[in-house]
Each structure stands twice: as structure tokens, then as C-alpha cells.
Chain A
Amino acid sequence: MTEEINKNLVPPSKRTVHFFYQGLIRFYPESIYGAKEGKKRAVLNYWTETGYQRTDFVKLLWNTTKTEDTDQAAKIVLGWKKLWDKNTQPGATVPENLDELLSSLDENTTETKKASAYKTQVLAKKALLESQKIVDESSSEPLSEPEITTAPDEVVLETDTVTSTPIPDPEMSTSSAEIISQAAGPLSILAGKMLTAPIKALAYFSGPKTYASSASGEGPGVATARYMLVRGISSSSIRSLESRSQQLGITPNQLKNLANLIKTEQKAHPFSFKWISVINSGQKASLSQAQISSLLTPSVNGSTAVLPRRSFIGGALGRMGQQLFGKLSSKAIKAVSKKVVSKVMETIGTQAAGSVVPGVGNIVMLVTQFVVDKVLSKVKDFISKLKTKEGKEKALTFLLGGMIIGGLFLGGPIGAALLIGGLVPGIGLMAAKAGGFGSLGTSIGSYGQAFMSGITGAVFPALAGPLIVSFVSVPLMIAVILFIINSGAYLVPPKASHVAGLIESPYIGVVKTASPSDPLENSDLPITIDYKVEVIAKKGTLSNIQFEDVCKVIKDGSSPSCSSPSSPTPEEPVSISPTSSFSFSYSRTYSSPTFEDSLIIDTFTVTADAPEKQGAQTAAAASVIIGDPPDECPNGWPGYGGLTQGAYAPYTHRNAEAIDIGLGVGNTITARHTGVVRAFGNIGPYGKHVEIVSVCGGKEFYSRYAHLSVVSVRTGEMITMGETVGLSGNTGNSTGPHLHYEFRDPSGPKKYPSNPPYMMTPYVPKDLPRGCVGRTTCKTNIP
């Protein structure tokens, strides 16, 4: 293997170096530009064009530069860049296939023909796995997880209440490499290194996403705390176990640590926690454990992330199982995984949380091991039976029977050949067993025996090994690869928040982040939020660029204006090329009591001319949640356009607190309040549509967003105000693209004026005419 890699070593190409350089700019700008005066530079957690999260990128960087020091790695890359700037090839080498992958990723950021996000992410994972080979070959020592220390938008857990004694490390936070090495043990008996890459991928995808939140580089203790939190285990219940700590085999300090971590987590995510309490008590949402857990995972934009989109363990293993062994076995695998998980739960419950929580990666490994062991034992049984006379006869009978049946079934010359081929030795075998047909029968029978003996004695020893390995490993590999390819949902980073009514643009990309992005307590005020905006040319150079920044505050009563930014929106550059994005930062300070219990949405809009399109426009928003904002009642517009029908209008709105907004296909439609999603496919008069269930004024209601062309959210997901639910369209009973936006009670239509919300202030930004039909009659534009 080492020889194979060394044989294909090449100097890192210019594109590969450019890729790393761009990645460093995004993820480690200080390594390129140096430290900023007074504070840290804003750092991205996700690189859209290449599908890389920060932690993945740093792993790739380390592997490729063969160092575990990011600064050192950055210096190496800068050295390579300097050489290439002088058109000199660097002396260092990387595997050729890795170089090709990285070059294609770099092309993806610059070329006109850009790969889809899905393809990019698959490519990114491939490159990461490929780079891991360098580490595997150069050292047998497992690679430790990279230490992320500079991201400003990470959850900071270093509170005064947390002591320095570490709690026991949960196994699920074991590094990918460790998981690989554990998993590779039993598997290597079967297929050696053939399985290493898929298991790596499996462990990689399954490991950190749900509980460990590796994207933000948090420690395993945090993961454990979150895990317990979502199981309803509070910090006080952990503290109550102090007297039993010895019995549980852990120190009081460790218990105290864990309790503190749970408390910190609860404090850090009051918003999510409140919802989890609702969900746990109500069970109406039917969210999976993984989904509930994921609610506690902070996303880039400050909202609660909702990935993975469905029960991860069940989903992942179910998919893998289905691809491997079909539906029946997939059920069996799901059942096994369920048992494993429930055992873990039981352990947590009975041992009262002092124990270690196995990670998803380990559970996957356990189940994989279980399946492989089962298959192996069956194969072994089969081979051992072939060694006996009865076994040989039985196998021969099955073989010949199969040939006869197959021949009859197939028909034609092949069928006839099979039939004769099965009948002749079959009759001989029967004759030999019965002693009939004299010596002829015996001789044919003995041919059959000899044939079988030949197979088992000569052919099997030579072929059995490779055959069994192929039999077991090839389907497993295919399943794992299919799993990776089909796991688009798990590769997708947390959803970005877009802006209602603005068209998604294939020409302009805007990323806007706020730091810190976690929900804040009122007691955190005053606080300064750093915003970073990056404008990217997706297809060719942008010109005639215009920026607009709008900040809005949602708060009970009269909403205040946003505080002034630290610096005005910069002057628009003359052009933005695909090779160099345009970025800038600013900050806003929010003070007490003005911004207590408020939701602040800062929206940045870019309008520009692309080579293929004049006046292309897109926008991105960053939200900050402070205290307990009134975001469970609807607020704002889900999309922009002309009002074509008011609430309680005749016909389709005769009994509905609903409006129709005329807008073209492909406009972003956003949730107007927090809640739990119900998503519907293209059936019935509303076509593809989304409903969001929530509570407003103490009463349950739901909002409906109908006639969509694309639905982006799944039933059971938690969604926050401002997140995209889909794109406008024309599905269902609709003559022309429009959005049907409605508020309903669980029992039926809303009855004005007894039961808000209604299509009037404060639930929409302005009062709308009721009962009107048609744009000319309604005479209202939104906004």
C-alpha cells in the first residue's frame, strides 16, 4: 500500500495550493493576514463552494502537510504558494489522486461550470478520506481530533462553575481514526484494508454530528451533558447522586463536573431547551431522539440546527441495511440498533448518568460487527458442512436441483443444457444412493461425488477466501458508498437563513454571520455582536454592484430601531471576481433594557450584474436572539409580492384567515415563527406545502405556506423564524405562481376576532384589506 501511494506522488499543483490558501483565508485568516488589533478576526465555520466545515478542512490540511500544527501547516502552504507565484514547483509531494481531488474542488470555486453542492460535498469527503491515507501509511498511531480554539462563534463553555477535573470521556468522541482502528479489527479478518475507507466514512459521518458536535470543536463532556439534557436528566438529579458516587465507580468531582456542564448547556440554550420541554411533554411532534438532540446544536446563523433531519441511528442503519440486505434485514438492523440504544438509555437511567455514553460511531460499529459476525458464522458453517459426505451430497443435490429448476424455468437452449446438466448427475446420484442402475448409476453417482469433491477439495480452498471476502465485503462497500452518496441530508451543513421574497441567485452568493451566534440572556446585555459579510461571484465577475443593509428588531410592544453599526456599509467595489470574494465586518452593540427579549434580524442585500444576467439579486440575514423574544407568534412576511386575495374573501378564502401573495416561481419563502414542521407533497389543492405548528397567546395554531415548488423542511423538524421553508411555486390548484399564507386553529379555520393571530398587525407588518379578490381590487403590495 505504501508503495502504491509513493508511486503516485506529485508536487502539490497550483490549484491545490490555491485551494488551501483560500481555505486558510476563510477558516484561519490570522494565519494569512496576522492578528487584528484588539480582537480576533471573524472566521467562517463552513465553506459553501467546497463543502468543507472548519474541522474537516483542518484535518485535510494537517494530513496533506503532514503536521498537526495549524500554524506550521499554514506556513507550509504559504511556502508552496510563494514557489508557485514564481512558477516553481514545490519540492513537497502529495498523492496524485488527492491532488486531483483538491484541484477539482478549487475549480469548483472558480470555474463557470460549478458542481452542485451535493457533488461538492461528496468530493470534499472523498478528499478528506484520501488524505487520511497519508496518515495511515506514515503512522499507525491514531490521529487526534484537531483542536479548534479560535472560532468566535463557537459555544464557550469555560464558565467559572466548571472545575478543571475532566469527566470521563464518552466513547463517542473517540477520534475518527480511533473508531477506524477499532472497527477495522474484526473487519480486517474479512477484508483487510478493503473496508477501511468505507468504515472511516461511516464512522466519520456517524460519529460527531449528533451528540459530539465536532463542528464547533466542543469537548466530549459537553456532548455527554447535551445527551443527558435531552433525556430529561437535569443537573440537580446528577448532584443528588453524590452520595452514591463510590458505588457508581466515579468521583464526586466528576459528578459535580457533569452537573455543571448540564447546567451550563441548559443555560446556554434556554430557547431550545424550552422547546424540548414542550416536545418531551407533549410528544405531539414525534421527533426522534437525534432530532431533539440536534436542537441543541448551534448553527452558524445562531438558530438551532435541525440536522440530522431524522432519527440518525435508525435512519443511517436502516438505509445501510436496506442497501445491504433489503427491507427485511434493514428492519432487523434497526431493531438491533434500537436495542443497543435502549441499552445505553437503560444504563444511563439506572446508573444515573455517571457512566459513559457510547457514541453513534461506536453503535454503528457494534451493529456492523454484529452483522458481519453473523454472516461469517453462517459462511463458516456452510464450509464445514461441505467437508462431510452428507454435506457434499446435500450441496450437490441443491446444486443439481437448482440446475433442473432453472433449466425448466428458463427454457431455450441454455435451459435445456442446464436441465440435462442437472438431470444426468442427479439421476446418477439417486441411483448411487439407491443402488439402482447397476454400475452405470454408481459411476454417474460417483461422477457427481467426484465433481463435488473436486469443488470442495480443489476449487474451494483456492477460491473460498477471495470469494467470501468479495461476497461479504463488496456488498458492504457498495452499501456504504451508496449510503454516503445518498446521505445528502447528512452532508448538508446547517441551513442558512435566507430572506423572504428575494430570489435565490445562481450568480451571487452572500454569507452573513453574527458572532456570538448563540441565543443570549437578557443579563448578557450590553453586548457587541460582530457581523461578517462575504459576497461571492458564483458565475463570472460581478459589476455594477449595490449593497443594502437593513436591520430590524422584533419585540413586544413598539420595536426599537437597531443600534448603529460600528462602521457604515462599505462602498461597493467596482467588481467582484469568482477568484476573490469581497468581505467586510462591522459590529453593533445592543444595550439593556432596549433590546431585552428581542429578535434582531440584520439583512444584507446585493444587487449586481453578472455576465449572463443583469440585475441579479440575493440576500442573507443573520439573527440574534436575546432573552425570550415574541417569535412564537407570527411576525413579518413570508414572501414579497402583490396581494391577490385577502382573508375571508369569497371562494377559497371564504372561511380562511389567509392571504394570497402573487410572486414568481423560485422565491424564498421563510417561516414567520418558530415551531414544528408538517410537510406535504404535491397532492390536493395546496400542492406542495408546509405547516408550522406553534403556540401564540397560549393557544396552539399553525401557519400554512402553500403552492410551493420546493419544500426544504421535513415533518417533525424544528424551525425558527426566518428559516427557509421552501420556494414559491404553482403546485396544486393554482393558476399562476403565488403563495397562499394562512393561520389556522387545530380545530379548523380561525374566527375573527376571538382567536388571534390574524392577517393584521402585529402578526403581519401592516394591516391588509380583508375580503378582496384580485390584485387590482386588493391594491396592496407586500411589503
Chain B
Amino acid sequence: MKRRKIFIVIILVILGVLIVVSFILKKEEATKPSPSLPLPKIPSLLEGDYPIEVVFEKRDFDFPSSMYVLQLEKQLLLENDINNIASNLGYTDEPLVMDDVFDGKIYIYRNEESALTASIKNQEFDYTLNQIPSYVNKQPSDEALIGTARDFLIENGFVSSEDIQFVSFVYLKETPGQGLYLTSKENAALYQVNFSSEIDDATILTLNPLNTPVYVRILPDGSVFQAHASRLGTVTESVNQYKLKTYEEVINGINDSILMSLDDGNIHLPDISNTSISKITITSIQIAHLLSNSTTTTLQPVYLLKGTASIVGFPTEISASMYLPAILPN
């Protein structure tokens, strides 16, 4: 009997020690930056090297040493959800449902004025007027633009109010068939209002560095022209933080950056060769989380490098944007 008591005490002591040790280990693990994460899958549309010059200063490099990645928990999107949005937008005809080799089933609603396309697989919606109507320039205020865009998204059911927060404006000038270029608010023909998920200090960008997962384009008369929404679901920060590249590491690894956009996104990168790029000059750096494709559930931080590019055949320098994975690879 005595032996058994001793044995039970020993077992309990061992258990206690193990539990305390495991608890400490777990806590340490939570605070320690995790050493490894696969590189984000950023498609490269231009192969080969080209000269890159970095002209921003170290003092401009004001980023934390480590960062969380974002985890997405997507909710199931149902055909009924799409029908509801279409109904809210006034579509009465049956949708055209077609199979897309990339995005699965695409639902297309359309009428004389506008069209709505939706993908269940990507949880994406795109709304557009068929053409830019004639309008009176009312020069809407920033508050009015944000309010209009938010109301349009929420009232029509694209996203719920708790899913989005305002991120930025992008001012675009447009001439039919000539592409979209960045401009000032005064000269803008379209005001793009970018929204992101409600996560502190985390801007989410898509493969187009000008676009967040949810945005609305508004005409100067204050009416909505286009809207895009990628539903991200519940966004949470990872348990672990991941160490970010330092200024020196960014400079040394600048050739790992991937060219995403030239001329405000108006040049199709596969149409040019790397040898036609005389030089890309990086003048600024930002950090953002990248939605590298619509079905991913992990958003990694990336550095957004902005600058100019000298391209053979272009009389002047044009804008350039690149992404560089921010997490230090092992």
C-alpha cells in the first residue's frame, strides 16, 4: 500500500513537471518568430534579369523586424448569395452560367446598362456599367466617395460592414480604349476607393498593386461605375510572427523582386523582353500583405517597391511596381 502511494506521488510529480515544461515550451514558441514559411506564390510574367537601382534611403525603411501572416477562413459562398446580390442590383433575367478553365463556374447577369459576374470558387464579384455615361463633375468629397462605395458594397450584399475598412484612394483618368492612368484627384475621371479587411496595420493588396481585394470605382458625378469584391472571410493574424528582411537584406536581394506592373499596369509584361528594360529605379518602399490568388488562405507580407522604368521604345520613363517577399527565407 505504501509502495503504491509512493508510486502515485512519483507519477503525479512527473506529470506536474511535464505539464509545466510543456506550458513553458508552448509559450516560448508563441512569442518566438517562426523560422520558416514557404515563399508566396507570386507569378512572374517577365523572365530574365534587368538592372534595378535603389534610391530610397535607409531612413525611409521604417518597418518592424517581424510580422504576422494573415490567415483567411473563408465562408461558403452559395448560388443563393449570388442570386441575392443580382436581385439587389435589379437583374431579373436568369444568369448565364459558364465554365471557366481557371475559375470554375462563372455566373453572368446582365441587362442593357450593366453586368455582374460572380465566381463561387474565388468568392469574387465584379460589377460594371456597360459604358461610362455622360456625367456632371460634382467633385465629390472624400467622405462622400467612401460613403457611396461602402453603401454600394453593403447594401447590395457584396460584403458585410464588419468585413471592410477604408484603405486608400486611387485616382484614374480614362479615355475609352486607352487604358487607365494614375492622376490627381482634380483630373480624375474615376475615383477608386480601396477597402481591406478590418485588421490592424495590415493593408492587403492583390497582384495589381493598385487594387485591394475590395474596391469601388466612382464617376465624378458620384455614381458607381464599377465594383470588385473578393470575399476573404474571417481574417486572423497567425500565432507566430515571422522575421522580416532588413534594409540591407532588401538591397542585397533586390534582384529577387518580381516586376508586377509597368506604366500603371497598362503594359502586358509578356509582350516585352527583359532586354528592353534599360533600368528600373526604385524610389519608395511600402509593406503590405499579398493576396496572391483568390483561393489562397495565407497572406504573407511583401514589400511593394515603386519607381520608374526606362524601356526601349518609350520616349519617357514610365511607372514601375514590384513585389519582394518580406519574410526572410531560411
A465 at the interface (CB under 8 A from B): no
A682 CB within 8 Å of chain B: yes
* Among A506, A650, A737, contact of B96 (Cβ-Cβ < 8 Å): A506
Q: Is the CB of B108 within 8 A of A652?
A: no
Task: Given the known inter-chain contacts A506-B93, A613-B93, A774-B177, please indicate yes or no for A665 contacting B102, CB distance below 8 A.
Answer: no
**Contact (A738, B11) CB under 8 Å given A664-B130, A683-B207, A712-B100:** no
Task: Give which listed residue, A408, A737, A738, contacts B18 with CB less than 8 A.
Answer: A408
Q: CA separation between A422 and B24, bound complex, in Å?
A: 21
**Interface residue from A437, A506, A713 paired with B101 (Cβ < 8 Å):** A713
Contacts of B105 in A (CB 8 A): 116, 118
Partner of A730, one of B19, B115, B178, B266: B115
Given A437-B7, A685-B268, A711-B101: A736 touches B176 (CB 8 Å cut-off): yes
Partner of A666 from B15, B99, B101, B115 at Cβ < 8 Å:
B115
Kindly list chain A residues whose C-beta atoms are within 8 Å of the C-beta of B15.
Answer: 416, 419-420, 423
Q: Which of A416, A423, A440, A727 makes the CB contact (< 8 A) with B3?
A: A440
Q: In the complex the two chains form, is A423's CB within 8 Å of B115's CB?
A: no
Which A residues between 734 and 782 are near B, CB-CB below 8 angstroms?
735-738, 744, 748-749, 773-775
Task: Find residues 112-131 in chain B having any chain A CB closer than 8 Å to their own CB.
Answer: 115, 117, 126, 128-131
A709 pairs with B106, CB closer than 8 A = yes
Q: Which A residues lie within 8 Å of B102 (CB)?
A: 679, 681-682, 688, 711
B43, A683: Cβ atoms closer than 8 Å: yes
Instruction: Tell me if B175 is interfacial: C-beta within 8 Å of chain A.
Output: yes
User: B115 touching A116 by the CB < 8 A rule?
Assistant: no
A residues 676-700 near B (Cβ < 8 Å) are 679, 681-686, 688
Q: Chain B interface secondary structure, helix, strand, loop or mixed?
A: mixed
What are 17 A-B contacts with C-beta separation under 8 Å?
A408-B22, A504-B96, A506-B97, A651-B175, A651-B178, A652-B177, A652-B178, A665-B115, A666-B108, A681-B103, A682-B102, A710-B100, A729-B117, A735-B174, A735-B190, A737-B130, A774-B176
A736 contact set on B, CB distance < 8 A: 128-132, 176
Query: Does chain A have a CB within 8 A of B54?
Result: no
Most buried by B among A427, A662, A709: A709
B265 within 8 A of A: yes
B92 at the interface (CB under 8 A from A): yes
A416, A420, A651 — which one has the most chain B CB atoms within 10 A of its CB? A651
Is A279 located at the chain interface by the 8 A CB criterion? no
CA gap between A38 and B130 in the complex, in Å: 53
Question: For residue A711, which residues in chain B have a CB less than 8 angstroms away from its CB?
Answer: 100-102
* A114-140 Cβ-contact flags toward B at 8 Å (1 or 0): 001010000000000000000000000
Judge whether A735 and B4 touch: CB under 8 Å: no
How many angstroms between the C-alpha atoms of A744 and B271 in the bound complex?
9
Q: A438-B3, A652-B177 are in contact. List 11 more A-B contacts (CB 8 A).
A: A116-B97, A440-B3, A539-B94, A612-B94, A644-B176, A644-B177, A664-B130, A727-B96, A727-B98, A735-B226, A773-B177
- Chain B residues whose CB sits within 8 angstroms of the CB of A714 once the complex forms: 101
Specify the chain A residue showing the minimal Cβ separation from B22.
A408
Bound complex: CA of A384 vs CA of B226, how far in Å? 67
- Given the interface contacts A411-B22, A651-B178, does A737 sit within 8 Å of B128 by beta carbon? yes
Residue of B nearest to A665 (CB): B115
Chain B residues in 8 Å Cβ range of A583: none
When distances are taken between beta carbons in the complex, the residues of chain B under 8 Å from A774 are 175-177
Please determine whether A684 and B268 come into contact, CB atoms closer than 8 angstroms: yes
A664 to B268, CA, bound (A): 23
Give the residue name and chain of the A residue nearest to B217 (CB). A735
Query: Is A653 an interface residue when CB atoms closer than 8 A count as contact?
Result: yes
Question: Are A709 and B18 touching (Cβ within 8 A)?
Answer: no
Number of A interface residues, CB 8 Å?
66
**Residue among B14, B99, B174 with most chain A CB within 10 A:** B99
In the assembled complex, the CB of A464 is this many whole angstroms from the nearest CB of chain B, namely: 33
In the complex, chain B residues 81-100 whose Cβ is within 8 Å of any chain A Cβ: 92-100
**A-B complex: 4 closest residue pairs judged by Cβ atoms:** A645-B177, A665-B115, A651-B178, A681-B102
Question: Contact: A651 with B7, CB < 8 Å?
Answer: no
A660 proximal to B (CB < 8 A): yes
B64 within 8 A of A: no
**Min distance, Cβ B275 to any Cβ of chain A, angstroms:** 12
Q: Which of B196-210 contact A (CB under 8 A)?
A: 207-208
Cβ of A240 within 8 Å of any chain B Cβ, yes or no, is no
| Binary CB contact string for chain A from 701 to 731 against chain B (1 if under 8 A, 0 otherwise) | 0000000011111100000000000110111
Chain A nearest CB from B93 CB (Å) reads: 6
B167 proximity list for chain A (CB < 8 A): none
Give the contacts of A437-452 with B (CB-CB under 8 A). 437-438, 440
> Is the Cβ of A440 less than 8 Å from the Cβ of B100?
no
On chain B, the residues within 8 Å of A738 by CB distance are 177
Query: How many contacts between A and B, using CB within 8 angstroms?
Result: 160
- A397: min CB distance to chain B, Å: 18
Decide yes or no whether B110 CB sits under 8 A from chain A.
Answer: yes
State in angstroms the CA–CA spacing of A95 and B272 once bound together: 63
* B99 and A612 form a contact (CB under 8 A): no
Please report the C-alpha to C-alpha distance between residue A78 and residue B268 in the assembled complex, in whole angstroms. Answer: 61
Contacts of A503 in B (CB 8 A): 96
Closest to A404 in B: B18
* Residues of B281-307 contacting chain A, CB below 8 A: none
Determine whether the beta carbon of A735 is less than 8 Å from that of B95: no
0 or 1 for each of B167-189: is its CB under 8 Å from A? (1 = yes) = 00000001111111000000000
Q: Which residues does chain A contribute within 8 Å of B179, judged by CB atoms?
A: 651-652, 685, 733
* Docked CA distance A774–B103 (Å): 32
Q: Is residue A143 contacting chain B, with contact meaning CB distance below 8 A?
A: no
Question: In the complex, what residue of chain A is closest to B113 when comparing beta carbons?
Answer: A664
How distant is the Cα of A727 from the Cα of B100 in the complex, in angstroms?
9
Within 8 A of B (CB), among A154-200: none
Identity of the chain B residue whose Cβ is nearest the Cβ of A438 in the assembled complex: B3
Would you call B99 and A488 a contact (CB within 8 A)?
Answer: yes
Cβ contact within 8 Å between A686 and B268: yes
Residue in contact with B271 in the complex, picked from A682, A710, A748, CB distance below 8 Å: A748
Q: Which residues of chain B are within 8 angstroms of A683 by Cβ–Cβ distance?
A: 43, 45, 207-208
Residue A472 CB within 8 A of the other chain: no
Indicate whether B269 reaches chain A with its CB closer than 8 angstroms. Answer: yes
Asked if A25 is an interface residue, CB under 8 A from chain B, the answer is no
A424 beta carbon closer than 8 Å to chain B: yes
- Chain A, 539-582, CB within 8 A of any chain B CB: 539
Q: When A684-B45, A711-B102, A774-B177 are in contact, do A730 and B126 touch as well, CB less than 8 Å?
A: yes
Kindly state whether residue A655 has any CB partner on chain B within 8 Å. Answer: yes
Tell me if A477 is interfacial: C-beta within 8 Å of chain B: no
CA distance A458 to B110 in the complex (A): 67
Per the bound structure, the CA–CA distance linking A309 and B103 in Å amounts to 16
A372: interface (CB < 8 Å): no
A488 to B99: give the CA distance in the assembly, Å.
Answer: 9
Which one, A419, A612, A645, A749, contacts B92 given CB within 8 A?
A612
- The answer to whether A652 touches B98, judged by C-beta atoms less than 8 angstroms apart, is no
Known interface pairs A420-B15, A423-B15, A651-B178; A685-B22 also in contact (CB < 8 Å) = no
Alpha-carbon distance A507/B226, docked complex (angstroms) = 28
B251 at the interface (CB under 8 A from A): no
Residues of A contacting B48 with CB < 8 Å?
none
Also in contact, A773 and B131, with CB within 8 A (given A712-B99, A735-B180): no
Chain A proximity of B207: nearest CB distance (Å): 5
Contacts of B106 in A (CB 8 A): 709-710, 727
Write out, one digit per residue, whether chain B residues 1-27 have a CB within 8 A of any chain A CB (1) or not (0).
001100100010011001100100000
Tell me if B266 and A652 are in contact (CB < 8 A). yes
User: Is B313 interfacial (CB-CB < 8 Å)?
Assistant: yes
Residues of the A chain whose Cβ atoms lie less than 8 Å from the Cβ of B95? 506
- A665/B108 in contact, CB under 8 A: yes
Chain B's nearest CB lies how many Å from the CB of A604?
A: 20
Specify which chain B residues have a CB less than 8 angstroms from the CB of A655 in the assembled complex: 313
What's the Cα separation between A644 and B130 when bound, in Å? 13
Q: State the CA gap A666–B97 with chains docked (Å).
A: 10
Q: Enumerate chain A residues within 8 angstroms of B117, measured Cβ to Cβ.
A: 665, 709, 729
Assess whether B30 is interfacial by the CB under 8 Å rule: no
Q: Chain B contacts of A735 at CB under 8 A?
A: 132, 174, 176, 180, 190, 225-226
